[in-house]
Amino acid sequence: MENSIHNLIIVGSGPAGLTAAIYAARSNLKPLIIDGDEPGGQLMGTSYVENWPGEKSILGPKLMMNIRDQAKHFGTEFLAETVTKVDFSKKPFTLWTNRNKELKSHAVVIATGATPKRLNVPGESDYWGKGITTCAVCDAAFYPDKNVLIIGGGDTAMEDASFMKKFTNKITVVHILDKLTASHAMQQRVTNDPDINIIYNSTITEFHGNGEHVTNVVITNQNTGEKIKKDIDGVFIAIGLKPNTDPFKEHIACDNWGFIKITDNTKTSVEGVFAAGDVHDYRYRQAITSAGDGCMAALDAEKYLSNIK
Ligand SMILES: Cc1cc2nc3c(=O)[nH]c(=O)nc-3n(C[C@H](O)[C@H](O)[C@H](O)COP(=O)(O)OP(=O)(O)OC[C@H]3O[C@@H](n4cnc5c(N)ncnc54)[C@H](O)[C@@H]3O)c2cc1C
């Protein structure tokens, strides 16, 4: 595996990378996936997914295992390592891993996703995916008439709060500053809504639950230190995303936030290197859109490879 030149290396095994692999494997490209430290991607950390076509309700890890099996079935190889460095200045491209493997490939799909920022406070990792989530579009419907908290004061937090209104009137926004940072229009939609309560200058400092699901939080005022305990059913954390582009960002064009810039759907600034999923798409951030992107990236890579060979 190490000495040969691969047709296609796919970096990342979330919905984008695995779907790219299914398409590439079925085109006989014998793709290699480098898994990274979260094989299966973000859905491995959630419970039920109800917006994947063809599955009314499926556990996130089960869905990802099914897609992985399908990719493997058609001949995808997997390497349980992480890409730490690349050289895209010469062809074939070179990628190095955390175990010092040097791999060469004629084409690369980057599908390394983005990591939602966490508060990093006690209880958060215990209840991540068990009532703590980052995706209102995905999970709002699980909270009809329930008490929910939205953490953040930017556009995403405001959008999440507005979206939650379709399901519940018991919404509290907790924001660390004394003013919201969202655009004026988005702020107004929330501040003018009598059902949305906003707690300023505050953040969650502890999550508690019953082992299965988060049930209450401690909210601490950053100025006074005052703590309040609040019973809740769900928490939506909307404090930003970090695209996983550290090994690549010196070699391909990225925007100011580190997301990969693309043209023509999947093409990066380096010919032969393609991007798919949350690593470039901060707008939709869905499993299905990432999978669709993975499909497009594989088809584009296949076309690129057939032109250079
Ligand atoms: C709690 C939660 C619940 C969600 N629920 C839903 C839902 O119900 N429905 C829905 O559609 N979406 C949901 N989402 C969003 C969805 O998970 C993402 O949009 C989707 O997983 C993005 O897919 P991706 O393949 O682009 O990246 P990811 O899933 O983020 O996968 C990235 C992959 O890249 C790998 N990687 C990263 N860096 C490296 C590296 N240097 N070298 C090698 N590999 C690397 C990781 O190990 C991982 O395998 C949810 C997200 C969260 C956090």
The length of the chain, given as a count of residues: 309
Nearest ligand 1 atom to the CA of 293 is: 26
pLDDT of residue 2: 55
Least confident of 79-83, 137-141, 242-246, 287-291: 137-141
Closest CA to 41 of 107, 105, 130, 129: 129
| pLDDT above 90 for 45 | no
| pLDDT above 70 for 30 | yes
* 87 neighbors 93 (Cβ within 8 angstroms): yes
Rounded CA-CA distance 128/65 in Å is: 19
Which whole number is the average pLDDT over 184-201?
A: 94
Tokens at 233, concatenated: 């059913």
Q: How far is the CA of 268 from the centre of ligand 1 (A)?
A: 20
Q: For 244-264, what is each residue's pLDDT tens digit?
A: 999 999 999 999 999 999 999
pLDDT of residue 112: 98
pLDDT of residue 47: 86
| pLDDT above 80 for 306 | yes
Tokens at 228, concatenated: 């309040």
Given ligand 1 and candidates 22, 37, 43, 260, which is best to mutate, with the most ligand atoms within 8 Å of its CB? 43
Average pLDDT taken over every residue of the chain: 96
| pLDDT above 90 for 3 | no
pLDDT band at 171 (very low <50, low <70, confident <90, very high): very high
Given ligand 1 and candidates 112, 130, 137, 139, which is best to mutate, with the most ligand atoms within 8 Å of its CB? 112
Tokens at 237, concatenated: 């954390």
Rounded CA-CA distance 276/17 in Å is: 7
Return the percentage of the chain with pLDDT > 70, whole number. 99
Q: How far is the CA of 220 from the centre of ligand 1 (A)?
A: 30
Q: How far is the CA of 228 from the centre of ligand 1 (A)?
A: 33
Rounded CA-CA distance 258/267 in Å is: 16
Q: How far is the CA of 244 from the centre of ligand 1 (A)?
A: 10
Question: Ligand 1: residues within 6 Å at CB?
Answer: 11-17, 34-39, 41-43, 45-46, 49, 51, 82-83, 111-113, 116, 129, 133-135, 138, 244, 247, 277-279, 285-288, 290
Q: Under DSSP, is residue 270 helix (H, G, I), strand (E, B) or coil?
A: coil
Phi, psi values for residue 136, rounded to 5°: -70, -40
Tokens at 306, concatenated: 């057939």
pLDDT band at 6 (very low <50, low <70, confident <90, very high): very high
pLDDT of residue 295: 98
The model's pTM: 0.92
Which whole number is the average pLDDT over 134-139?
A: 90
Closest Cα to atom 45 of ligand 1: 36
| pLDDT above 80 for 309 | no
